[in-house]
Amino acid sequence: MKNTIAVTLAAVLVTSCGGVSTTNLLAPSADSGLDGTGQHLNPKSDGGGVESGSRDATAPDARGDAGHVGADAGLPRKDASTAPGDAGTDKADAGGPDTGHAEDSGKDSGTDDAALSCEAPSVPCSGHCVDERTDPGNCGACGTTCGAPTTCVASTCQCPVAFPPLSVCGAACVATLSDPKNCGACGVTCVGGDVCTNGECLPACAAGEELCGSGANARCTLTSNDSSNCGACGTKCSAPLLACAAGNCICPPTNPTLSECGAACVDLDSDPANCGTCATACGAGFVCSGGVCHASCASPTVACGNGAAQRCVNLTDDPSNCGACGKGCGAGRDCQSGACACSGPNGGKTTLCSGVCSYTPNDAENCGSCGHACSAGQVCTAGACAPSCTVGDTACGAGCANLLWDPYNCGACGVVCPSSQPWCFEGVCEFG
């Protein structure tokens, strides 16, 4: 073949889609005899190596390739003498489009955490440096998200600080101390009308009652009168204050004579250490009777008087306590068998007149007898009313008295001889 065809191969692109197609960018040479479409300009060019007529661009390949005509429509088939090395290159490119990096695995270099350097305590996570201790989107581990209202604290999703404290149950923050659907722990539901109290399902109490105890021992009670929970849960009344009233431990009401003194129940009527009132103690030799301290007296004596003045007396003959403590007989009278009697000086010559012993010989109110009073200006002398006293008598008040012998005017008007010296002798009180 005398004529040569200069073909410049610009690029070969290989694509896989059920067959092989090629696009040849051809640049005609000056002596190639081809125009821009690949047709010979002169079909009769010297040499005869090429038929005078070009192959029909639409004619099928003689070897039966229905999908491809020659190497390209209107172009001569690729020279069979193509170097084996060129064919191998074509096959190597058949895998897909060239990225320019034969080692590229398809992974985005921006997400390569292994190549990311983070400053502690941050760690690589999806191409970013995060602190898994506090990051709500990566809490404790990359990708672990804390849902609202929880936050990331110490690498765990936690509820906001509150009182009572909240706990994470599912996606919610709940108070497990009071939530009847999450009582004490997530998912624990109180039933049968129970309420959640301090994390326990316990009975609901009526108005005025308090829930005392826990677990199976919990019960509703009135702390105002419960001796096991007096005033407050767990406050138990102990002996002797075994009863509870108005929230206070008291003495048992079954014994009304007992009263509370400190931590003891005492009988204020008879307790010498608490006589009448708490802490009122009777002295040595005294007893408590009727809430009053009395001297401890041997029969038949009794204690009369109060406090330190109290003493033991015989009510049958004591003129100051005749028949009863404090009942005095008065001057000139004695106590006989518990009754006051006029039997004093002058051998019992006095007479009881209106509760008063009268010496009728010279008593102007009872002159000679009880109730006989002398007229104004008169005196009683020798038991008779007279205008003046007889010789030897002296006027003493409304009466006349012999100051030498009168025990009620012994030596002078108004001087009464005592019972220990009941006689008046020559104006001096003497015994017998």
Residue-wise pLDDT tens digits, 21-69: 333 333 333 343 434 444 443 434 343 433 333 334 333 343 334 333 3
Handedness of CA 357, 359, 362, 368 (dihedral sign): positive
Rg (C-alpha) for the chain, rounded Å, is 70
Task: Read off the pLDDT of residues 387-430 as tens digits, 9 standing for 90 and up.
Answer: 778 788 888 877 788 889 888 889 999 898 887 888 888 899 98
Q: Give me the mean pLDDT over the 344-359 stretch.
A: 69
Copy the structure tokens of residue 428.
Answer: 């001096």
Separation CA 52–CA 40 (nearest Å): 9
Categorise residue 365: left if φ over 0, alpha if ψ from -120 to 50, beta otherwise.
Answer: alpha
Mean pLDDT across the chain, nearest whole number? 73
DSSP label at residue 89: H
CA quadruple 117, 119, 123, 124: dihedral, nearest 10 = -30
The length of the chain is 432
pTM for the model stands at 0.31
Copy the structure tokens of residue 179.
Answer: 């939530």
Per-residue pLDDT at 112: 64
110 has a pLDDT exceeding 70: no
Q: What own/partner pairs with CB < 8 Å and gap ≥ 24 does 78-84 have?
A: none
Task: Read off the pLDDT of residues 122-148 as tens digits, 9 standing for 90 and up.
Answer: 999 988 999 999 998 999 999 999 888
Q: Which residue has the tokens 């305590």?
A: 121
282 has a pLDDT exceeding 80: yes
Predicted confidence band of residue 90 (pLDDT cuts 50, 70, 90): very low
Per-residue pLDDT at 332: 63
Cβ-in-10-Å burial (0-12, 13-18, 19+) of 226 comes to buried
182 has a pLDDT exceeding 90: yes
Separation CA 269–CA 180 (nearest Å): 57
